[in-house]
Amino acid sequence: MEKYVEKQLNESYNGKLTELFKEWKASYGSDKQHLFVEDGLVVKYKDESTGYDINEQWQKSPRKIAFLLKDCPDDWGYDARRLLVGYGGNEKSQRLAANVRNIKGRFFHNLARMLYGLSAMTDDYKGVELANEMTNIGKLREAFNEIPFAYIECKKLAGGKTCANVALNSAMSRDNEFLAKEIEILKPNIIVCCGGEVFDNVAANYFKGVIPEEDCRWDYVFDDNGEKGDFRCKMYYYKEHGVLLFDSYHPSARVSWRMTEKVFSPLREFFGKYMTFDVVSDNRVS
Protein backbone atom coordinates (compact mmCIF):
# COMPACT_ATOMS: atom_id res chain seq x y z
CA MET A 1 0.00 0.00 0.00
CA GLU A 2 3.02 2.29 0.44
CA LYS A 3 3.22 3.04 -3.28
CA TYR A 4 -0.43 4.10 -3.29
CA VAL A 5 0.15 6.33 -0.28
CA GLU A 6 3.11 7.96 -2.05
CA LYS A 7 0.97 8.48 -5.14
CA GLN A 8 -1.64 10.36 -3.10
CA LEU A 9 1.06 12.49 -1.48
CA ASN A 10 2.61 13.53 -4.76
CA GLU A 11 -0.37 14.25 -6.99
CA SER A 12 -3.05 16.92 -7.21
CA TYR A 13 -3.65 18.95 -4.02
CA ASN A 14 -1.15 17.07 -1.89
CA GLY A 15 1.37 17.14 -4.71
CA LYS A 16 1.18 20.93 -4.89
CA LEU A 17 1.66 21.08 -1.14
CA THR A 18 4.68 18.78 -1.34
CA GLU A 19 6.27 21.24 -3.77
CA LEU A 20 5.36 24.19 -1.54
CA PHE A 21 6.93 22.47 1.46
CA LYS A 22 10.27 22.17 -0.34
CA GLU A 23 10.49 25.96 -0.55
CA TRP A 24 9.01 26.47 2.91
CA LYS A 25 11.41 24.02 4.56
CA ALA A 26 14.38 25.53 2.74
CA SER A 27 13.51 28.92 4.25
CA TYR A 28 14.71 27.53 7.59
CA GLY A 29 18.32 26.90 8.48
CA SER A 30 19.76 23.40 8.18
CA ASP A 31 19.70 23.09 11.98
CA LYS A 32 15.90 23.47 11.99
CA GLN A 33 14.80 21.57 8.90
CA HIS A 34 14.55 18.21 10.70
CA LEU A 35 11.73 19.72 12.79
CA PHE A 36 9.61 20.72 9.78
CA VAL A 37 6.17 19.10 9.66
CA GLU A 38 4.45 18.54 6.32
CA ASP A 39 0.67 18.34 6.32
CA GLY A 40 -2.46 18.70 4.21
CA LEU A 41 -5.03 16.11 3.16
CA VAL A 42 -4.81 13.12 5.51
CA VAL A 43 -4.42 9.89 3.50
CA LYS A 44 -6.83 7.13 4.50
CA TYR A 45 -5.85 3.54 5.29
CA LYS A 46 -7.18 2.20 2.00
CA ASP A 47 -5.35 0.40 -0.77
CA GLU A 48 -5.73 1.09 -4.48
CA SER A 49 -8.36 -1.63 -4.96
CA THR A 50 -10.86 0.46 -2.97
CA GLY A 51 -10.68 3.26 -5.51
CA TYR A 52 -10.45 5.79 -2.69
CA ASP A 53 -8.04 8.60 -3.53
CA ILE A 54 -7.88 11.41 -0.97
CA ASN A 55 -7.31 14.11 -3.58
CA GLU A 56 -10.31 13.00 -5.63
CA GLN A 57 -12.49 12.71 -2.54
CA TRP A 58 -11.54 16.22 -1.48
CA GLN A 59 -12.25 17.60 -4.94
CA LYS A 60 -15.81 16.31 -4.97
CA SER A 61 -16.63 16.84 -1.29
CA PRO A 62 -19.30 19.56 -0.85
CA ARG A 63 -17.85 20.42 2.56
CA LYS A 64 -14.09 20.79 2.52
CA ILE A 65 -13.10 20.88 6.19
CA ALA A 66 -9.66 22.05 7.29
CA PHE A 67 -8.44 21.99 10.88
CA LEU A 68 -5.78 24.59 11.60
CA LEU A 69 -3.83 23.48 14.67
CA LYS A 70 -0.84 24.88 16.55
CA ASP A 71 2.18 22.60 16.17
CA CYS A 72 3.33 19.01 16.41
CA PRO A 73 3.99 18.27 20.12
CA ASP A 74 6.40 15.39 19.55
CA ASP A 75 9.54 17.47 18.99
CA TRP A 76 10.25 15.83 15.64
CA GLY A 77 9.30 16.55 12.05
CA TYR A 78 7.13 14.14 10.08
CA ASP A 79 4.38 14.09 7.46
CA ALA A 80 1.04 14.59 9.22
CA ARG A 81 -0.73 13.39 6.08
CA ARG A 82 0.39 9.92 7.20
CA LEU A 83 -1.46 10.06 10.52
CA LEU A 84 -3.75 7.18 9.53
CA VAL A 85 -1.26 5.08 7.57
CA GLY A 86 2.15 5.51 9.17
CA TYR A 87 5.36 4.81 7.28
CA GLY A 88 6.00 1.59 5.37
CA GLY A 89 8.45 -0.64 7.25
CA ASN A 90 8.24 1.40 10.46
CA GLU A 91 6.39 -0.71 13.02
CA LYS A 92 6.15 2.03 15.64
CA SER A 93 4.54 4.45 13.20
CA GLN A 94 2.15 1.69 12.11
CA ARG A 95 1.05 1.10 15.72
CA LEU A 96 0.54 4.82 16.27
CA ALA A 97 -1.46 5.07 13.03
CA ALA A 98 -3.70 2.20 14.16
CA ASN A 99 -4.43 4.11 17.37
CA VAL A 100 -5.29 7.23 15.39
CA ARG A 101 -7.63 5.25 13.11
CA ASN A 102 -9.39 4.01 16.23
CA ILE A 103 -9.58 7.62 17.50
CA LYS A 104 -7.88 6.72 20.75
CA GLY A 105 -7.10 9.63 23.03
CA ARG A 106 -8.93 12.90 23.68
CA PHE A 107 -7.31 14.81 20.81
CA PHE A 108 -8.41 12.55 17.95
CA HIS A 109 -11.75 11.73 19.55
CA ASN A 110 -12.59 15.43 19.69
CA LEU A 111 -11.34 15.94 16.15
CA ALA A 112 -13.63 13.12 14.99
CA ARG A 113 -16.61 14.63 16.81
CA MET A 114 -16.10 17.99 15.13
CA LEU A 115 -15.54 16.38 11.73
CA TYR A 116 -18.72 14.32 12.02
CA GLY A 117 -20.92 17.22 13.09
CA LEU A 118 -19.52 19.70 10.58
CA SER A 119 -20.06 17.16 7.79
CA ALA A 120 -23.50 15.96 8.82
CA MET A 121 -25.36 18.98 10.20
CA THR A 122 -28.23 20.38 8.16
CA ASP A 123 -31.15 22.64 9.00
CA ASP A 124 -33.25 19.51 9.65
CA TYR A 125 -30.50 17.59 11.43
CA LYS A 126 -28.92 19.82 14.03
CA GLY A 127 -30.48 18.99 17.38
CA VAL A 128 -30.88 16.06 19.74
CA GLU A 129 -30.66 13.42 17.02
CA LEU A 130 -27.27 14.69 15.84
CA ALA A 131 -26.06 15.00 19.43
CA ASN A 132 -27.05 11.38 20.10
CA GLU A 133 -25.29 10.17 16.96
CA MET A 134 -22.07 11.78 18.14
CA THR A 135 -22.02 9.51 21.19
CA ASN A 136 -21.76 6.51 18.86
CA ILE A 137 -18.04 5.69 18.75
CA GLY A 138 -18.56 3.45 15.72
CA LYS A 139 -20.06 6.28 13.68
CA LEU A 140 -17.31 8.65 14.74
CA ARG A 141 -14.63 6.15 13.81
CA GLU A 142 -16.24 5.52 10.43
CA ALA A 143 -16.49 9.24 9.72
CA PHE A 144 -12.87 9.84 10.68
CA ASN A 145 -11.70 7.11 8.31
CA GLU A 146 -14.00 8.02 5.42
CA ILE A 147 -14.57 11.77 5.30
CA PRO A 148 -11.73 13.74 3.67
CA PHE A 149 -10.24 16.51 5.79
CA ALA A 150 -7.17 18.71 5.90
CA TYR A 151 -4.86 18.81 8.92
CA ILE A 152 -2.63 21.88 9.06
CA GLU A 153 -0.03 22.84 11.65
CA CYS A 154 0.27 26.64 11.72
CA LYS A 155 3.67 26.47 13.39
CA LYS A 156 5.53 24.15 11.07
CA LEU A 157 8.51 23.44 13.33
CA ALA A 158 7.65 20.71 15.83
CA GLY A 159 7.75 21.69 19.48
CA GLY A 160 7.19 20.17 22.89
CA LYS A 161 4.08 19.27 24.86
CA THR A 162 2.85 22.85 24.93
CA CYS A 163 2.94 25.68 22.41
CA ALA A 164 3.21 29.16 23.92
CA ASN A 165 1.13 31.83 22.21
CA VAL A 166 4.26 33.94 21.75
CA ALA A 167 5.96 31.16 19.79
CA LEU A 168 2.82 30.43 17.77
CA ASN A 169 2.24 34.06 16.84
CA SER A 170 5.90 34.52 15.94
CA ALA A 171 5.82 31.47 13.65
CA MET A 172 2.59 32.51 11.95
CA SER A 173 3.90 36.04 11.44
CA ARG A 174 7.10 34.69 9.88
CA ASP A 175 5.28 32.22 7.62
CA ASN A 176 2.13 34.19 6.76
CA GLU A 177 2.67 34.02 3.02
CA PHE A 178 3.45 30.30 3.05
CA LEU A 179 0.41 29.51 5.19
CA ALA A 180 -1.82 31.58 2.91
CA LYS A 181 -0.48 29.63 -0.08
CA GLU A 182 -1.25 26.34 1.65
CA ILE A 183 -4.82 27.39 2.35
CA GLU A 184 -5.21 28.68 -1.19
CA ILE A 185 -4.03 25.37 -2.67
CA LEU A 186 -6.57 23.40 -0.65
CA LYS A 187 -9.40 25.95 -0.91
CA PRO A 188 -11.39 24.64 2.09
CA ASN A 189 -14.87 26.05 2.63
CA ILE A 190 -14.91 25.24 6.35
CA ILE A 191 -11.85 26.37 8.32
CA VAL A 192 -11.71 25.39 11.98
CA CYS A 193 -9.11 27.49 13.81
CA CYS A 194 -8.10 25.60 16.93
CA GLY A 195 -7.38 28.61 19.09
CA GLY A 196 -8.15 32.32 19.10
CA GLU A 197 -4.64 33.25 17.99
CA VAL A 198 -5.03 31.09 14.88
CA PHE A 199 -8.45 32.60 14.11
CA ASP A 200 -7.16 36.16 14.47
CA ASN A 201 -4.14 35.45 12.28
CA VAL A 202 -6.14 33.82 9.48
CA ALA A 203 -8.74 36.61 9.54
CA ALA A 204 -6.03 39.28 9.49
CA ASN A 205 -3.76 37.74 6.89
CA TYR A 206 -5.54 35.25 4.64
CA PHE A 207 -8.74 37.34 4.63
CA LYS A 208 -6.78 40.64 4.65
CA GLY A 209 -8.33 41.90 7.87
CA VAL A 210 -11.83 41.99 6.42
CA ILE A 211 -14.57 41.52 9.00
CA PRO A 212 -17.84 40.33 7.42
CA GLU A 213 -20.98 42.42 7.71
CA GLU A 214 -23.21 41.84 10.71
CA ASP A 215 -25.50 39.33 8.98
CA CYS A 216 -22.46 37.20 8.10
CA ARG A 217 -20.77 36.99 11.46
CA TRP A 218 -21.65 35.42 14.77
CA ASP A 219 -19.79 36.45 17.92
CA TYR A 220 -21.61 35.86 21.19
CA VAL A 221 -21.52 34.28 24.64
CA PHE A 222 -22.99 30.79 24.44
CA ASP A 223 -26.59 30.69 25.62
CA ASP A 224 -28.49 27.53 26.55
CA ASN A 225 -32.21 28.26 26.94
CA GLY A 226 -31.58 31.64 28.50
CA GLU A 227 -28.64 30.57 30.63
CA LYS A 228 -25.37 32.20 29.66
CA GLY A 229 -22.37 29.92 29.31
CA ASP A 230 -18.76 30.55 30.22
CA PHE A 231 -17.37 30.67 26.68
CA ARG A 232 -17.78 32.61 23.45
CA CYS A 233 -18.76 31.33 20.03
CA LYS A 234 -17.30 33.00 16.96
CA MET A 235 -17.80 32.30 13.26
CA TYR A 236 -17.33 34.49 10.18
CA TYR A 237 -19.00 33.76 6.85
CA TYR A 238 -16.91 35.17 4.01
CA LYS A 239 -19.47 35.17 1.21
CA GLU A 240 -17.13 36.20 -1.58
CA HIS A 241 -14.69 33.44 -0.66
CA GLY A 242 -17.36 30.85 0.12
CA VAL A 243 -15.79 30.07 3.51
CA LEU A 244 -17.00 29.59 7.07
CA LEU A 245 -14.25 30.49 9.55
CA PHE A 246 -14.65 29.07 13.06
CA ASP A 247 -12.91 29.86 16.33
CA SER A 248 -12.60 26.54 18.18
CA TYR A 249 -11.00 25.09 21.25
CA HIS A 250 -7.87 23.04 20.63
CA PRO A 251 -8.83 19.33 20.39
CA SER A 252 -6.63 18.53 23.38
CA ALA A 253 -8.60 20.86 25.67
CA ARG A 254 -10.50 19.37 28.62
CA VAL A 255 -13.79 21.19 28.03
CA SER A 256 -16.31 18.35 27.65
CA TRP A 257 -19.41 19.31 25.62
CA ARG A 258 -18.07 22.83 25.11
CA MET A 259 -15.63 21.42 22.54
CA THR A 260 -18.35 20.83 19.98
CA GLU A 261 -20.83 23.51 21.04
CA LYS A 262 -18.29 26.28 20.44
CA VAL A 263 -18.40 25.25 16.77
CA PHE A 264 -21.84 23.71 16.33
CA SER A 265 -23.79 26.52 18.01
CA PRO A 266 -22.85 29.15 15.39
CA LEU A 267 -23.30 26.58 12.60
CA ARG A 268 -26.87 26.03 13.81
CA GLU A 269 -27.32 29.80 13.71
CA PHE A 270 -26.01 29.79 10.15
CA PHE A 271 -28.53 27.14 9.10
CA GLY A 272 -31.27 29.05 10.93
CA LYS A 273 -30.54 32.03 8.68
CA TYR A 274 -29.53 30.47 5.36
CA MET A 275 -31.29 27.07 5.61
CA THR A 276 -28.72 25.30 3.44
CA PHE A 277 -24.96 24.93 3.06
CA ASP A 278 -25.32 25.28 -0.71
CA VAL A 279 -25.15 29.08 -0.43
CA VAL A 280 -21.50 28.77 0.63
CA SER A 281 -20.46 27.10 -2.61
CA ASP A 282 -22.85 29.18 -4.71
CA ASN A 283 -21.31 32.47 -3.54
CA ARG A 284 -17.69 31.43 -3.92
CA VAL A 285 -15.55 33.46 -6.30
CA SER A 286 -13.00 31.20 -8.01
**If pLDDT is split at 50, 70 and 90, which confidence band does 160 have?**
low
The domain segmentation of the chain, as residue ranges, is 2-282
In tens, the pLDDT along 122-146 reads: 999 988 899 889 899 999 999 999 9
pLDDT top residue among 178 and 227? 178
Nearest CA-CA partner of 21 in 163, 210, 181, 151? 181
d(CA 141, CA 193): 22
Q: What proportions of the chain, in percent to the nearest 5, are helix, strand and coil? A: 50, 15, 35
Q: How many residues does the chain have?
A: 286
Q: Does the pLDDT at position 159 exceed 80?
A: no
Rounded CA gap, 16 and 253, in Å? 32
DSSP secondary structure of 148-160: -EEEEESS-B---
Banded model confidence at residue 77, pLDDT cuts 50, 70, 90: confident
Give the rounded distance of the alpha carbon of 199 from its chain centre: 12
For residue range 91-126, list pLDDT tens digits in order.
999 999 999 999 999 999 999 999 999 999 999 998
- What pTM was estimated for this model as a whole? 0.95
